[in-house]
Amino acid sequence: MSTHPTLSQLDRYATGAPALDEPSVWAIEVHLEDCADCRARLAGSTTGDSRAVIERVAMNLAREIAASPAPDARTRPWSVLRHRWLVGTLSPWLAMTVAVLACAALLSGMRTGLPSLVLLIAPLAPLPGVAVAWHRRADPAWELVAATPAAGLTTLLRRTAAVLAFVIPALALVGAGTGVSLALTLLPCLAFTVATLLLGTLVGVHRAAIGLILTWVFVVVAPSLATARIPMFLQPESAGIWALTTVVLTVTAIFRVNGFRRLSRHG
Amino acid sequence: MMRALSTAETAPTTHPWVIHAQGLQVRAGRHLAVNGLDLTLNTGVHGLLGPNGAGKTTLMRALATVVAPSGGRLTLLGQSVDGRADLRPVRRALGYLPQHFGFYPRFTVREFVAYMAWLKEMPKARIPAAVQRSIDRVGLTAKADARLKTLSGGMLRRAGIAQAIVNDPQVLLLDEPTVGLDPEQRLDFRELLRDLGTDSCVLVSTHLVEDVAAACTDVVLVNEGRLVWQGTTEVLIAQGDQSHAGDSAAERGYSAILRRHRAEAAR
Amino acid sequence: MDAADEGELVRRIARQDRRAFDELYRRTAPWLEVRLRRRCADADLVAEVLQDTYLTVWRAAGSFAGTRNGGARGSAVGWLWTIAAHHLVDAFRRRARRAQRPQVPLMPATAPAAEDEVMAARIGQELEQALLTLPVEVRAALRATVLDGLSSREASVLLGVPENTVKSRVRRARIALREALS
């Protein structure tokens, strides 16, 4: 903290006479912001005019405060967090994801003859949420948000992160409950999320997600259910390949960051 | 507390116009709603007038960077927004009230405006006071902590204006801001508009010619996606005489210009 | 109440404690009034800004106390000044619209006197040198932006000159500062 101004300096600062030089004024103003004692000393130096203004304003304030309803501006941290990351629009999709996962877990538990449904649908779990993360019809305030700097990429990534933060624990829980390999549920899930974003730079995230879901269902899920066998690339030894795929996709996505900029235009 | 100034902050402003459109084309669906529009605007309050279907709302959406132009050039604050440029710097200086906007019904007015301030990437420490200030400026002080779903149409409109002005935008776009306001509120709003116009470029789209005559320094008249006329409010008023349709001098001026334009177009 | 610092008072105001509000006003209003008055001669306008500032404090304390630094010691006074500075600019906007510009300089700082009371190590020697030699209008631009924390656009409203003029004056001050350093 800088040295305290003398009382006569404070006097001159408060009354303007005799005038102080500019550096002293700066020094006093910087100091007063940090020093409660000098603010109190300054109060004793103020002119009659100043005191009259302060009193008048005090009365006006009392009247204004009495006249208007008490503010209730207490921040609710949870509510702020929820608004910023989810904005309520994702909750139906997340609820649906959990419901589907729970059903899959139940079915896997009941009919051991079938391949693990949890394993088969794990890669798709985050996609509905990602698909609506930045979509005109999914967000009521889309038109407002679209004109802000956070529109497009920032909002998409933020909400995708929120979806993953929700889906990954859910998957881990369901996976652990049904005894499926953790790596084989989580790694494909991440790989598919990144693939959606990457494909999204070309055709829009919404279409990318739908395309990937349909492809996976017809190419992998349906045949596995028909033949009652888990395909090779979902066997435990493929975990390394999934890890590699995830890393490669992520690196590609980072290099395509400029492509993502265009997302701000996609509804 | 002394603040450090960045070089960027003190770099001179070189763009001659805040809003500059040349041969601008914007699609609304398949139809070219804005078709070859030339427009230059600077600081002040500008009224955007035109018959229904003239392309006012589409123009506003393009200026708000919500839709990309399909042809021509558009620069805001000296930065081109028609290419693939990073829109974030421009969007930080933008305020936009859409004609219709969805919102999150469970937000309070304060939470809603604060959320928009956060999306506009305002410094976090400045948000609480800036939110309060903009709520006070639109006269919603008593309703600051009411949920949006409990507000009347006029109050919602004012909450929308509050979010538009919270970041002290250099470019402020208001699409039909006076819808739902009672006469007294409209008078207050005109005062606010004039304040905002001292150091921002404000474009107000409206079908109420009196609002323009009372609060705007100049008038932009569009028809069928093109600029028809641009000039001061006084000159607009001087265009009409008793032979033209309208209840006020400004309305008569408006219909005189429009009629003349249509006659020329028909030739 | 006496022992509480300003940050604590703001936290109490957030819980709608009127006594804490009165205490904050008693402690900080004289300082704020003098600082505003040094920027604006019009007592009515100062009163208006003072009132708007404390009303904002009363109404927004809740959300301010919730921000990361909101409850921190020392930040409350800086917050008060930021609010006041912005309200001052707003008041100038209103006056500018009514084409009655408030007179700005009431207490102009004088040229250097053979100062008897020298405050040692106050704001940095080079800044001090620059402040002593720069023309009045350049100092005013520097004060509005650096000391008062306003943007060049807000400073232009306060000083009644175009934004680019503010910017060029601040650039001039920077150059002078650099020379003072070398």
Q: Which residues of B touch C156 (CB under 8 A)?
A: 199
pLDDT value of position A76: 62
pLDDT value of position B7: 77
Please indicate whether residue C1 or residue A50 has the higher confidence score (pLDDT): A50
pLDDT value of position A192: 87
Which residue, among B141, B199, B201, would best test binding to C if mutated, counting the most C CBs under 10 Å from its CB? Answer: B199
Return d(Cα B265, Cα B27) in angstroms, integer. 22
Is it the case that residue B136 has pLDDT exceeding 90? yes
B123 and chain C in contact, CB less than 8 A: no
pLDDT value of position A259: 60
CA-closest candidate to residue B10, choices C175, C124, C88, C127: C175
Asked which of A3-7, A61-65, B79-83, C55-59 is least confident by mean pLDDT, the reply is B79-83
β-strand pairing of B94-97 with B79-80? unpaired
Q: How much is the pTM?
A: 0.87
Nearest Cα residue in chain C from A24:
C119
pLDDT value of position C74: 56
Share of chain B above pLDDT 70, in %: 99
Residues 35-74 of C with CB under 8 A from A: 35, 37-38, 43, 46-47, 50-51, 54-55, 58-63, 65-67, 74
Task: Pinpoint the alpha helices (H) of A46-124.
Answer: 48-67, 77-85, 91-110, 117-121
Return d(Cα B202, Cα B165) in angstroms, integer. 10
**Which band of pLDDT confidence, cut at 50, 70 and 90, is reported for residue C23?**
very high
pLDDT value of position B84: 67
Q: Which residues of C touch A5 (CB under 8 A)?
A: 119
Please indicate whether residue A200 or residue A134 has the higher confidence score (pLDDT): A200
Which residue, among B97, B115, B140, B171, would best test binding to A if mutated, counting the most A CBs under 10 Å from its CB? Answer: B115
Residues 162-181 of B with CB under 8 A from C: 168, 170
Residues 3-22 of B with CB under 8 A from C: 3-5, 9-13
Q: In what order do the strands lie in the sheet with B44-49?
A: B94-97, B171-175, B201-205, B44-49, B218-223, B226-232
Which residue, among C17, C119, C126, C131, would best test binding to A if mutated, counting the most A CBs under 10 Å from its CB? Answer: C119
pLDDT value of position C113: 40
pLDDT value of position B62: 93
Q: Tabulate helix, strand, coil % of chain A (nearest 5).
A: 75, 0, 25
Q: Tell me B54's DSSP state.
A: S
**Is residue C24 within 8 Å of residue C90, measured between CB atoms?**
no
Answer left, alpha or beta for residue B47, where phi above 0 means left and psi between -120 and 50 means alpha.
beta
Q: What average pLDDT does range A226-233 have in this prediction?
A: 76
Q: What average pLDDT does range A144-148 have in this prediction?
A: 88
A43 and chain C in contact, CB less than 8 A: yes
pLDDT value of position C106: 42
**Which band of pLDDT confidence, cut at 50, 70 and 90, is reported for residue A262?**
low
Q: Which residues of A touch B94 (CB under 8 A)?
A: 147-148
A46 and chain C in contact, CB less than 8 A: yes
The minimal CB distance from A149 to the residues B1, B88, B96 is found for: B88
Distance from CA of B257 to the nearest CA of A (A): 33
Select the highest-mean-pLDDT range: A230-244, B207-221, C87-101. B207-221
C77 and chain A in contact, CB less than 8 A: yes
A265 and chain B in contact, CB less than 8 A: yes
Asked which of A30-34, A112-116, B116-120 is least confident by mean pLDDT, the reply is A112-116
Please indicate whether residue A235 or residue B247 has the higher confidence score (pLDDT): B247
A183 and chain C in contact, CB less than 8 A: no
pLDDT, chain B, mean = 90
Please indicate whether residue B50 or residue B242 has the higher confidence score (pLDDT): B50
pLDDT value of position A2: 62
C123 and chain A in contact, CB less than 8 A: yes
pLDDT value of position C109: 46
Q: List, for residues C52-106, the tens digit of each pLDDT value.
A: 999 999 999 888 876 666 555 558 899 999 999 999 999 998 887 776 554 454 4
Tokens representing C117 are 């009371």
ipTM: 0.86
Distance from CA of A67 to the nearest CA of C (A): 12
Is it the case that residue C171 has pLDDT exceeding 50? yes
The minimal CB distance from C5 to the residues A21, A36, A60 is found for: A36
Q: What are the angstrom distances between the C-alpha of A90 and each of A80, A127, A140, A147, A196? A: 15, 12, 12, 21, 17
A69 and chain C in contact, CB less than 8 A: no
Return d(Cα C4, Cα C20) in angstroms, integer. 9
B184 and chain C in contact, CB less than 8 A: no
Cβ separation C171–B126 shorter than 8 A: no
DSSP letters, B155-215, are: HHHHHHHHHHHTT--SEEEEESTTTT--HHHHHHHHHHHHHHTTTSEEEEE-S-HHHHHHH
Distance from CA of A122 to the nearest CA of B (A): 31
Give the max Cα distance, chain B: 67
C167 and chain A in contact, CB less than 8 A: no
Asked which of A72-76, B137-141, B185-189 is least confident by mean pLDDT, the reply is A72-76
Q: Which residues of B touch C63 (CB under 8 A)?
A: 110, 114, 127-128, 131-132
pLDDT value of position B173: 97
**Which band of pLDDT confidence, cut at 50, 70 and 90, is reported for residue C115?**
very low
Nearest Cα residue in chain A from C17:
A70
Q: List, for residues A101-141, the tens digit of each pLDDT value.
A: 777 777 776 666 666 777 788 888 888 888 877 777 777 78
